[in-house]
Structure 1
Amino acid sequence: MAPHQKPDMRIFRGHFSLDEISLRKIFMVQLNSIFCVKQHLLKYLPTLIERASFNDLKNAIIENIDDIKIQLLRMEAMYQLLHETYSPHKCLGIKSITLEAFITNRDLHLSDLENDLTMLIHLRTLENIEITCFEVMHDIAAALPNKELDMMLKQNLDMAKDSQRLYKLITKEYLH
């Protein structure tokens, strides 16, 4: 094979598909994880409102908090649909990302605008993580028999994408 050629991709066409019990187990792990993340963000995001200097950024964070509350309500409904309860997670990855951003901004002695842009980079990173999680959960839910679950995940995914777009628009304000 020439050095610039990629090896042929193997497409499994479902030969390794998981059964419903396995899919549900993985779905619950992810639901518990994103639920923990969203609860953490409800505590963390208000501190960013206080530190933001641009009113549009403050308002975007407030809107995101309101969206998170709705997303959590939908996730609580998912637990009910599945006859499950939230199993607490530590969500250490997200907590460390938020702590690192907080410490970095404080230690660098940034101007207000520099702080806002750094905050936006951080917020967009968090939204990307949430979007990926909701996309995977949506894919898993599509393979499960409960279509209501699929619909609620699509709504949460759409809200996360809307937040991401808003943060991206605000970011551009700092760059022009």
Structure 2
Amino acid sequence: MKNETGTTPKFKMKTSVHSEPALNELFFDGIRDLYWAENHLLKTLPKMIKAASSAALSKAIENHLKETEGHVARLETIFDIMGKEPIAKKCNAMEGLAKEGEEIIESTEAGTATRDVGIILASQKVEHYEIASYGGLLQLAATLGLTEVATLLEQTLEEEKAADLILTEVAEEGVNYQASEES
């Protein structure tokens, strides 16, 4: 079965939309959590851009900031599809990951590749959290028969994976080596 983008989804759809209320609530709780997380990133990513000295790293984070705006919009679309108000639930994991990123910035010297490596590491931790969250919710949406929601989650999941790969490329293409050469 092909979706509207012409690709075959990588998940199995349940045909019935009737499901256990507790499972639906768990799903919505995850969506609310991601909504808070993505909105928090909209405030955090500009700080990372400002702290980065590598042009490639700054550009990668700037691009992901624009994508993150789209992620928030997709989540709002999901709330709309489900007939729910877009209400965020504080994401303790994202709050902790963002704080860790801020601590890296505070503990490293401005303008160094070492700081850039730290920003990459902190950013990849965020991406991996998001990949796990979107991946799990995608499968749950499929189980619940929420085809349109699953498609939106899959789009964001693919963008999160791509962002992680770009960060790896920035590290591999020089930032890590430059940091190893700093005294």
Question: Normalising to structure 2: TM-score of the pair?
Answer: 0.81
**Alignment partner of 1:67 is 2:67:** yes
1:151: how far off?
0.6
1:100: how far off?
2.6
Gaps of 5+ in 1: 1-17
Task: State the Cα RMSD in Å.
Answer: 1.7
Query: Is the 8 Å Cα contact of residues 53 and 111 (structure 2) preserved in structure 1?
Result: no
Query: Is the 8 Å Cα contact of residues 53 and 113 (structure 2) preserved in structure 1?
Result: yes
- For the residues of structure 2 that align with 1:122 and 1:40, how far apart are their CA atoms? 15
Query: Which residue number corresponds to residue 175 of structure 1?
Result: 176
User: Could you give the per-residue CA deviations for residues 3-52 of structure 1, whole angstroms, max 9, x where no partner exists?
Assistant: xxxxxxxxxxxxxxx94422211110000001100000000100111111
Q: List aligned pairs for 1:145-160, cutoff 5 A.
A: 145-160=145-160
Aligned partner letter, 2:140: I
| Shift >3 Å, 4+ stretches | 108-111
Query: Is the 8 Å Cα contact of residues 52 and 111 (structure 2) preserved in structure 1?
Result: no
Change (3 A) 1:111 1:53: closer
Q: List aligned pairs for 1:71-90, cutoff 5 A.
A: 71-90=71-90
User: Could you give the per-residue CA deviations for residues 113-172 of structure 1, whole angstroms, max 9, x where no partner exists?
Assistant: 000000000000100000000000001000122211111111010010110111111111
1:111: how far off?
5.5
Q: List aligned pairs for 1:128-147, cutoff 5 A.
A: 128-147=128-147
Aligned partner letter, 1:75: L
Aligned residues: 159
Aligned partner letter, 2:34: I
Query: Which residue number corresponds to residue 122 of structure 1?
Result: 122
Give secondary structure in 2 for the equivalent of 1:83: coil
Query: Is the 8 Å Cα contact of residues 141 and 149 (structure 2) preserved in structure 1?
Result: yes
Question: Normalising to structure 1: TM-score of the pair?
Answer: 0.84
Aligned partner letter, 2:65: I
Query: Which residue number corresponds to residue 43 of structure 2?
Result: 43
| % identity of equivalent residues | 21
Aligned partner letter, 1:100: E
- For the residues of structure 1 that align with 2:123 and 2:167, how far apart are their CA atoms? 7
User: Could you give the per-residue CA deviations for residues 83-138 of structure 1, whole angstroms, max 9, x where no partner exists?
Assistant: 01123322233222212321233134466100000000000010000000000000
Query: Is the 8 Å Cα contact of residues 120 and 171 (structure 2) preserved in structure 1?
Result: yes
